[in-house]
């Protein structure tokens, strides 16, 4: 048996990894990822290098110290220009020569109303206008509050709101945790669907080309189905390993850019918050493997009982819905991972790869629930393999109209 299974695994693996589409997708994925990360950042740096050099003319003599730090936090490089009769003419000349991207004029009216004049070489973006306007208004308000003896920094900072979660159903999740949970769940949805559909298409191609009749003469249908699933699984793991390696390399290269954008990440502890640990990566791999094995069995059965791509597109709708439902529930589950609804849905085996991952990466999930989800998924893999194997055994050699549900049940019983 295992000799035949290994032969199918080897054939599926070599045939797919040598294809042009596999090479293009495997190499193109990291290239596109790198382009999405580095090209916009490089273009932004190049285009804004001079535009974000600002001179501030402080006619009040007191606002520059308040205004400059706020503009710098908004991404500007700020210099102070002394007030004199021809200051506007001089700064216009410097802007036309490319030394600065513009300048801001503040005066006594700014202290009263927060109004200022922003001279720019081009039409500034809405974000840049809001940054300058907010910085000027808050600097003027902060100065006025300090004149009255008010702690302006604490008041304008909005104070501090401490949240204490009363019920066990709540969860205090940080932004990095939410991002890891949501992006990881979406990736699991994509890769499980992508590779499970590959199993269905491989089965359908062999059935429609009648090659399967020759193959079945030398091995059992169950051996062929198992070999196909394991072969596509090996291909998927190979591609994912390359992508994960490329992602790690890209992340390492992007660390200086991240620190430049958010200096607080220079602290190693803060940087670890945005990087999933080795334990989470192993869990991600485990959820993918069990999710793939469950759905690939279902998709193999769909491919065996259909006779064309059109039939397969219609027949796979229930499987797609089984993946769409947990994706729809990801956000509520991340925000409240310990509610009865979140716990129940994440323990349902067909939802576990996505929803249990969302709960675990968000934090606060008991270990026994994670272990139970893997046990239930293992049982579901066996159940699906048992049912799908019987449908596959009969359907792979059947042609004609697509079977009805009663006919499928008869195949399961008679096989």
371: exposed, middle or buried (Cβ count in 10 Å: 0-12, 13-18, 19+): exposed
Domain 50-156 class, CATH top level: alpha beta
Contact 332, 342 (CB under 8 A): yes
> In whole angstroms, what is the distance from residue 98 CA to residue 353 CA?
55
For 120-148, b/e burial (b = at least 16 CB within 10 A) is beeebeeebeebbeebbbbbbbbbeeeee
Closest C-alpha among 382, 226, 375 to residue 300 = 226
Q: What is the pLDDT of residue 372?
A: 93
Q: Where are the domains of the chain?
A: 50-156, 173-237+253-414
> Phi, psi (5° rounding) for residue 173?
-110, 135
Closest C-alpha among 221, 230, 225 to residue 195 = 230
Residue 404 carries which DSSP code? Answer: P
pLDDT, tens digit, for every residue of 297-313?
Answer: 888 888 878 777 778 88
Q: Are strands 117-120 and 102-106 parallel, antiparallel or unpaired?
A: antiparallel
Contact 316, 197 (CB under 8 A): yes
Block means of pLDDT (10 residues each) for the chain, 415 residues, are 77 81 76 66 52 81 84 82 86 85 86 84 74 84 76 56 50 65 84 85 76 70 78 83 76 58 47 60 87 87 80 83 89 84 90 89 81 92 83 71 70 65
Contact 362, 334 (CB under 8 A): yes
Give the DSSP H or E segment for 56. strand 53-58
Q: Residue 180 is encoded by which pair of tokens? A: 């890891």
pLDDT, tens digit, for every residue of 83-128?
Answer: 888 888 898 888 888 788 888 888 888 888 888 888 887 777 666 7
> In whole angstroms, what is the distance from residue 182 CA to residue 169 CA?
19
- Beta-strand runs (E) in 238-327: none
Other Cβ atoms less than 10 A from the Cβ of 363: the count is 14
> In whole angstroms, what is the distance from residue 319 CA to residue 399 CA?
22
Q: What is the pLDDT of residue 271?
A: 46
- Give the list of residues 6+ apart from residue 88 with CB closer than 8 angstroms, or none: 105, 119
Residue 157 carries which DSSP code? Answer: T
């Amino acid at each position: 048996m295992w000799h035949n299974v290994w032969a199918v695994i080897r054939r599926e693996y070599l045939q797919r990894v040598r294809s042009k589409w596999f090479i293009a997708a495997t190499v193109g994925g990291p290239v596109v990822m790198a382009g999405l990360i580095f090209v916009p950042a490089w273009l932004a740096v190049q285009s804004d290098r001079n535009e974000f050099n600002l001179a501030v003319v402080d006619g009040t003599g007191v606002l520059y110290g308040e205004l400059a730090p706020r503009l710098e936090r908004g991404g500007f490089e700020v210099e102070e220009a002394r007030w004199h009769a021809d200051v506007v003419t001089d700064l216009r000349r410097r802007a036309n020569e490319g030394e600065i991207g513009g300048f801001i004029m503040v005066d006594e009216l700014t202290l009263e109303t927060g109004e200022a004049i922003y001279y720019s070489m081009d039409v500034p973006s809405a974000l840049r206008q809001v940054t300058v306007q907010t910085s000027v208004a808050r600097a003027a308000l902060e100065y006025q509050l300090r004149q009255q003896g008010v702690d302006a920094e604490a008041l304008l900072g909005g104070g501090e709101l401490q949240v204490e979660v009363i019920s066990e159903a709540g969860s205090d999740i940080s932004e990095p945790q939410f991002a890891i949970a949501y992006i990881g769940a979406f990736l699991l949805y994509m890769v499980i669907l992508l590779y499970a559909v590959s199993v269905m298409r491989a089965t359908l191609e062999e059935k429609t080309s009648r090659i399967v009749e020759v193959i079945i003469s030398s091995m059992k249908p169950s051996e062929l189905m198992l070999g196909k699933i394991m072969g596509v699984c090996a291909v998927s793991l190979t591609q994912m390993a390359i992508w994960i390696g490329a992602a790690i390399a890209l992340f390492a290269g992007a660390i200086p850019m991240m620190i430049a954008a958010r200096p607080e990440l220079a602290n190693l502890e803060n940087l670890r918050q945005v990087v999933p640990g080795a334990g989470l990566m192993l869990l991600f791999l485990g959820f993918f493997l069990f999710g793939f094995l469950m759905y690939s069995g279902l998709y193999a059965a769909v491919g065996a009982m259909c006779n064309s791509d059109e039939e397969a597109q219609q027949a796979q709708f229930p499987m797609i819905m089984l993946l769409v439902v947990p994706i729809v529930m990801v956000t509520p589950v991340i925000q409240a991972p310990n509610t009865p609804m979140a716990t129940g849905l994440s323990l349902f085996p067909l939802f576990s790869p996505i929803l249990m991952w969302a709960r675990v990466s968000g934090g606060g999930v008991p270990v026994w629930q994670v272990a139970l989800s893997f046990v239930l998924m293992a049982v579901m893999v066996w159940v699906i393999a048992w049912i799908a194997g019987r449908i596959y055994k009969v359907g792979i050699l059947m042609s004609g109209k697509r079977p009805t549900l009663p006919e499928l049940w008869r195949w399961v019983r008679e096989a």
